[in-house]
A and B are shown apart, each in its own frame.
Chain A
């Protein structure tokens, strides 16, 4: 029973952690390229979930099969959120490219508030039920109930997504250009890399990942409202800092570590301390290892 319990908590933590990781990747990609904490990222995640909800409801009325709805809704959500991410960068950050570092940060917070209120006005301030689109998988009962259908889906999808992202970054021309821009934007420019395009691409990829996270979690918990992006965003930010902001494997690792820590804290200690732990970790990391687990220490050039 105890091993079983441990395994349950482990997979529960892994599920939650992989959602954190998907969102954290968006933070870390953007930070890697333009050294900005995109505080509106949580809202992009929320918009992804909302878009999927709208598309799924519309397709549901038209009588599509459930599995098909989920895939189509997720694809639309990814495209739509990516468009939001792209626009967000053009509207809120690009005009501030040369400004002091605080300006884009304030702009990001402003966008976050704006997007939340926009969704309240355009959609609703109520919680909305997210349709159940996953088929029941009776074989999970035979696996001793260590995880549910949506947890399996989350683990599978996020693993595939992260593998795809790693391959893209490591083995394509675009990925190489992204890495180059992250290392030294001026040098990349001199070598003929269109930095603006790379920055846009980064926002598009980050937002698409957030949308995947949003759709997964919405179909997991079965509800969405305008504020879901806030807590998820803050936790993912913690994960990104934990892993080392700017580092892609760091964000994945940070997400998983944070998810597992939370799950085990609740499981073996008390749910009262779940958030205390998460933010306690953030503070400790900032004090003792500001570069995170996998982050490289940044040498301040004088």
Chain B
């Protein structure tokens, strides 16, 4: 190497380290998620939430004297783009990550954060294994996982409705099947309710007549269905036609106004679990007002979860006074934060404790929150 080249390299290194030192003055929160594409409506609200929390702290002098900088990375909810986004965030030396949005993308990105020992808090990835497998020690989430919803439904069937026989159907997808299997396991463990039928229906099948007939023959007193609303609406209509009039309970894949639109009057009485309505909490009211003021519209999907996740991260950094990963993880697990999702902390697995799930029921063409609730721990 000639002297000239060495000089250039040294100079470059100096410049680079100087810029790194400058950058270190801000606290970087990486926000990966779907910011464009089909599923942008899932990711954009979370980015808004992170920006609002950052604005609020920055206006008061930042965290530990440092301004918060939001580093957005678009993954379009695609696993292959998520790994790129994650690599980019790691090389940008972000301090913590608030994301990703979709479960598939999160699953793809997590190994990269694990290697970099980077804490990631997702506002919306609900696949149970992300936390439950124990493979992702640095991963947390501010949303109930799919299995948690089964706790609510199993308990509702056994103790509130007091039924003896229940049928469980699912659509054979990861989401629906996971929910159905957890319900089955919980009901069998409880021992009060007999699962008389457990099988899949193909969402594309021409009709569900045979499955419904079988449900009737087995004497099912309720149906727990794991899946999304198009299949559910087809199923409840078939049940009405075949005069099988029993309660139907499903996860939040059913809690969509499209379900009521599709199934019409047959949707009446159907139960669906979903995060409790926390929009009346003072923190939520404040977050919504900030959103209306800055973006001029109502906040979208997962906004409050993302707001909670960002608050929890910033709070942990503030409490520990630094960025030591182990200290931060301990703080996330012990410090209770007042967020739009309720007063939360994280459990040993990384799931949020303190989040509430409620059962909703279709009444007069609308989902109405029932008193049946469950606070996760």
Closest chain-B Cβ to A95's Cβ sits at a distance in Å of: 32
Q: Are A275 and B202 in contact (CB under 8 A)?
A: yes
Q: A150 an interface residue at 8 Å Cβ cutoff?
A: yes
Give the CA-CA distance A46 to B210 in the complex, in Å: 23
Q: B230 an interface residue at 8 Å Cβ cutoff?
A: yes
Given the interface contacts A127-B258, A222-B263, A271-B199, does A19 sit within 8 Å of B206 by beta carbon? yes
Q: B327 an interface residue at 8 Å Cβ cutoff?
A: no
Considering only CB atoms, which chain A residue lies closest to B244 in the complex?
A145
- Count of CB-CB pairs between chains A and B under 8 Å: 99
A143-185 interface code vs B (CB 8 A; 1 in, 0 out):
0010011110000000000000000000000000000000000
Q: Are A262 and B204 in contact (CB under 8 A)?
A: no
Q: Are A274 and B202 in contact (CB under 8 A)?
A: yes
Within 8 Å CB of A265, what residues of B?
210
Given the interface contacts A15-B209, A19-B206, A266-B211, does A129 sit within 8 Å of B261 by beta carbon? yes
Q: Are B201 and A271 in contact (CB under 8 A)?
A: yes
> On chain B, which size bracket covers the interface?
20 to 34
Given the interface contacts A222-B262, A223-B234, A271-B199, does A13 sit within 8 Å of B241 by beta carbon? no
Give the CA-CA distance A225 to B233 in the complex, in Å: 13
Within 8 Å CB of A270, what residues of B?
199
Closest chain-B Cβ to A221's Cβ sits at a distance in Å of: 5
A204-232 interface code vs B (CB 8 A; 1 in, 0 out):
00000000000001001111010110111
Q: Are B200 and A272 in contact (CB under 8 A)?
A: yes
**Interface positions of B from 135 to 178, Cβ below 8 Å from A:** 169, 172
Q: B243 an interface residue at 8 Å Cβ cutoff?
A: yes
Considering only CB atoms, which chain B residue lies closest to A17 in the complex?
B206
Closest chain-A Cβ to B257's Cβ sits at a distance in Å of: 12
Contact of B206 among A16, A264, A267 (CB under 8 A): A16
Within 8 Å CB of A145, what residues of B?
242-243
Give the CA-CA distance A275 to B243 in the complex, in Å: 26
**Interface positions of B from 220 to 242, Cβ below 8 Å from A:** 230, 233-234, 237-238, 241-242
Within 8 Å CB of B258, what residues of A?
126-127
Q: Are B204 and A231 in contact (CB under 8 A)?
A: yes
Q: Are A9 and B233 in contact (CB under 8 A)?
A: no
Q: B205 an interface residue at 8 Å Cβ cutoff?
A: yes
Given the interface contacts A129-B264, A132-B264, A263-B210, does A150 sit within 8 Å of B204 by beta carbon? no
Q: Are A267 and B242 in contact (CB under 8 A)?
A: no
Given the interface contacts A12-B213, A145-B242, does A129 sit within 8 Å of B262 by beta carbon? yes
Given the interface contacts A8-B213, A271-B200, does A223 sit within 8 Å of B206 by beta carbon? no
Closest chain-B Cβ to A211's Cβ sits at a distance in Å of: 16
Within 8 Å CB of A148, what residues of B?
241-243
Q: A41 an interface residue at 8 Å Cβ cutoff?
A: no
Give the CA-CA distance A267 to B206 in the complex, in Å: 15
Q: Are A267 and B214 in contact (CB under 8 A)?
A: yes
Q: Are B209 and A16 in contact (CB under 8 A)?
A: yes
Within 8 Å CB of B5, what residues of A?
none
Give the CA-CA distance A154 to B227 in the complex, in Å: 28
Q: B217 an interface residue at 8 Å Cβ cutoff?
A: yes
8 closest residue pairs by CB, A with B: A266-B210, A12-B209, A231-B204, A148-B241, A271-B199, A222-B237, A263-B210, A127-B230
Q: Which residues of A contact B (CB under 8 A)?
A: 1, 5, 8-9, 12-13, 15-16, 19-20, 126-129, 132, 141, 145, 148-151, 217, 220-223, 225, 227-228, 230-232, 235, 262-267, 270-272, 274-275
A–B pairs, 17, beta carbons within 8 Å: A12-B213, A15-B207, A20-B206, A127-B233, A132-B264, A148-B241, A149-B241, A221-B238, A222-B234, A223-B233, A223-B237, A228-B204, A266-B214, A271-B201, A271-B202, A271-B210, A275-B205
